[in-house]
Amino acid sequence: MKQIFALFFLISSLGLSQVHAQEGEEPRFPGCEDALDYDCADMKMLQFLFSNLKHPQAAKDANVQGTVVASFTVKADGSISAPSVKEGLGHGCDEEVIRLINLMPKWIPGTDPEGNPIDMEWEIDVKFKN
């Protein structure tokens, strides 16, 4: 039986990028044929994260449960940069979320209202449960 339950949510773009996303397109995880199928893109990201997640032994030993909130930037070229933990749990969970973000493939970048690719910041919640 699996010792971990992880649930991931793509929260939203943040700050100034949110204004652009309302008129342009938000970035999305790759792997879906339909360019506007954000549900599919979210599901692909969840599958990627869940298949690569390694529950830290220190967190298991300490029975640590909760949510790590992390952010990163999806660059105009689709690459991922500047991953950071906004709210952490410690016991290796924060580092695991950063590791997962760094493993992500290039995304399909967001665009401004004119259709030009732009950098956008994204936030995800990763819930750890024993």
Domain residues for the domain of 102 are 5-129
Tell me the per-residue pLDDT of 76-94, one tens digit each, with 9 for 90 and over.
999 999 999 999 999 999 9
CATH number of the domain bearing residue 72 = 3.30.2420.10
Residue 117, helix vs strand vs coil = strand
Domain count, the chain: 1
pLDDT in tens, 2-28: 333 334 333 333 333 333 345 788 999
pLDDT value at 105 more than 50: yes
